[in-house]
Amino acid sequence: MQRRDFLRTTVAGGLGLSTLARQTLAQMPRIEPARANPGFQPDVELALTAQRGDWAVLPGAQTSLWHFTGQVMKGDASVLSFADGSGHLPVLRLRRGQKVRIHFDNRLPEASIVHWHGLNIPQRMDGHPMYAIEPGERYVYEFEIVNRAGTYWFHPHPHERTSFQVYQGLSGLLLVTDDEEAQANLPAGEQDVPLVIQDRSFDEHNQLRYIGNMRHDWMMGFSGERVLVNGHPQYSRQVSRTAHRIRLFNGSNATLYHLRWSHGQPFTVIGTDGGLLEQARQQESLTLGIGERVDVWVDFSGQAAGSSVHLLAESYTPSLENFTETQQGEALQDGARPIAGFVMSNAPATEVAAPGRLSVYPALSAADAVNAGAPRRVQISMRMGSFYLNNRVFGGMQDVADDSVVKLGSTEVWEFANDARMGMGMGMGMGGMMQMAHPMHVHNVQFTVQSRIPADQSSALHRRLSAGFTDYGLKDVVVVLPGERVQVLMKFENHTGLYLYHCHILEHEDLGMMQNYRVEA
């Protein structure tokens, strides 16, 4: 009941925290923010600030956003940039093996903390909501980059406010490189293009509109009327006619995207959440769940000077409603909307051979799993407006169920089971029942997808979306469609402590579809 009251008053309160929300936060046990350790010698030192600012997003009045800004205190100045000069979507470029210190200052009107999505780092550095700091406070992150070269990201992770703060604009990319990636000779510089895909809604004054109808926007997740790429409503960039690396990232709150190229070429996938593949793989379309990243290689040398190639997207709610036609933007092309345009320059074309060997994965074998014959089951369900994992909603900050304890150094199989009927209790769907797709994320690990057991009678839409999944490589997010069971294999390395796993539909996470797990020595 407190959770429902909290949401009701938060909706009514708009940007500010409700009285009940402030009481909820005030009742949490106080943990002093992490400070700089004099014995830690960073290779790179950054200042990162969360604050409010105004930005030209749409024509006319500027839009008020919450955003990250920062500066490099030690190290190469190129470590920090902003996607397409947006000024509010930071991109950090770091190397494997570097020691990093980040001074995070909270200049927001409410508590916040930063989660480094996809990174394997100590508990106190991971951004668990128990460490959220108040306005005016500082939290100092110190960790070594041990992850492989790839596309990672960061975002706020405060208790029951993650969805709101991310929607207001707080997110950024963290790109890791290493010697192995350098040997692959992939496109770099202007030919290395990150694309942050997010959907938003705006009022008549160009200000963000969020939570309107609780049933639709909280329980269904929030989906916007406009798709932004790198903060732009009709993204376009001029490109040279040669090979490019396009880093695709779904940074939306709840929308799944089904992507394809306008010129009919397949995607050449070179990396997923956890870094480069061993070899490139081709597929006709891509389906990106919330938080997922896919790196693709594309050669524009065959295109005519002045011509354009578009990235086309279909947008789906968690209940798999295709709402692309109701969104604003460029005219549809065969049912999909152009969300990013690449305009060919007049410079001579340079053809580049497709990449060969890219990397070598860390060895993960199902035979090494301590529970190979009995996977650790995570049942996904919803009843009466509450979201559950194994019949539990997120409770105490440090609560850990007996079935959520793992051993350091162990390899395990987890099964995400989205095959329970979910009772809405609101007359939605046949007999008041419905199901949703859930992108499941596990902090502190990268996993491999072992199997996807579809529903007994999967629809043509299920099969179409499934064809776009990247169920290969190393991942930290996997979409589990209604009726499915997905088994993943992961190894718990380097750090003991308390971490999270949750649905990455941000409203579902805030509604309690999240649990702690503990890594013990």
Q: What is the pLDDT of residue 406?
A: 98
Nearest 5°: phi and psi at 369?
A: -65, 135
Residue 410 lies in a domain: yes
Q: How confident is the model at residue 259 (pLDDT cuts 50, 70, 90)?
A: very high
Average pLDDT over residues 300-305: 96
- pLDDT tens digits for range 110-134: 999 999 999 999 999 999 999 999 9
220-244 burial by CB neighbour count: b if 16+ within 10 A, else e? bbbbbebbbbbbbbbbeeebbbbbb
Q: For residues 488 and 10, what is the distance between their CA atoms, to the nearest angstrom?
A: 36
What percentage of the chain has pLDDT greater than the value 70? 90
Alpha helices in 43-117 (DSSP H): none
Residue after which a domain boundary falls, among 146, 177, 208: 177
Residues 375 and 438 in one domain: yes
Q: Which element (helix H / strand E) includes 498?
A: strand 497-503
Number of domains in the chain: 3
| Mean pLDDT value across the chain | 91
Residues 41 and 127 in one domain: yes
Residue after which a domain boundary falls, among 126, 154, 177: 177
pLDDT of 15 strictly over 80: no
Range of the domain at 261: 189-344
Residues 126 and 170 in one domain: yes
Residues 261 and 395 in one domain: no
- Going by C-alpha positions, the residue among 302, 287, 220 that lies closest to residue 257 is 287
- pLDDT tens digits for range 461-488: 999 999 999 999 999 999 999 999 999 9
Q: Using CB atoms within 10 Å of the CB of residue 349, give its burial: 0 to 12 exposed, 13 to 18 middle, 19+ buried.
A: middle
Q: How confident is the model at residue 13 (pLDDT cuts 50, 70, 90)?
A: very low
- Going by C-alpha positions, the residue among 243, 270, 174, 199 that lies closest to residue 470 is 270
382-408 burial by CB neighbour count: b if 16+ within 10 A, else e? beebebbbeebebeebeeeeeebebee
480-513 burial by CB neighbour count: b if 16+ within 10 A, else e? bbbbbbbbbbbbbbebebbbbbbbbbbbbbbbbb
Residue 14 lies in a domain: no
Q: Using CB atoms within 10 Å of the CB of residue 346, give its burial: 0 to 12 exposed, 13 to 18 middle, 19+ buried.
A: exposed
Residue 12 lies in a domain: no
CA torsion angle for 51, 48, 167, 188 (degrees, to 10)?
A: 140
Residue 128 lies in a domain: yes
β pairing state of 235-239 and 256-261: unpaired
Query: Which CATH number goes with the domain that contains 401?
Result: 2.60.40.420
- pLDDT tens digits for range 33-87: 999 999 999 999 999 999 999 999 999 999 999 999 999 999 999 999 999 877 8
- Going by C-alpha positions, the residue among 417, 412, 400 that lies closest to residue 447 is 412
Residues 400 and 456 in one domain: yes
Residues 312 and 228 in one domain: yes
Residue 156 lies in a domain: yes
Residue 372 lies in a domain: yes
Residues 124 and 253 in one domain: no
Q: What is the pLDDT of residue 27?
A: 59
Q: What is the pLDDT of residue 462?
A: 94
- pLDDT tens digits for range 383-416: 877 789 999 999 889 999 999 999 999 999 999 9
Q: What is the pLDDT of residue 456?
A: 72
Residues 329 and 219 in one domain: yes
List, in order, residues 6 or more apart from 258 with CB less than 8 Å away: 285, 286, 287, 313, 314, 316, 336, 464, 465, 468
E-state strands within 262-375? 267-272, 275-283, 286-288, 293-299, 308-316, 337-344
Q: For residues 351 and 322, what is the distance between their CA atoms, to the nearest angstrom?
A: 37
- Going by C-alpha positions, the residue among 161, 26, 171 that lies closest to residue 90 is 171
Residue 284 lies in a domain: yes
Neighbours of 336 (CB within 10 A): 21
Residue 350 lies in a domain: no
The region that residue 463 occupies, defined by phi over 0 for left and psi between -120 and 50 for alpha, beta otherwise, is alpha
Contact indicator for 52, 64 with CB cutoff of 8 Å: yes
Q: Which element (helix H / strand E) includes 227?
A: strand 226-229
- Going by C-alpha positions, the residue among 131, 160, 96 that lies closest to residue 497 is 131
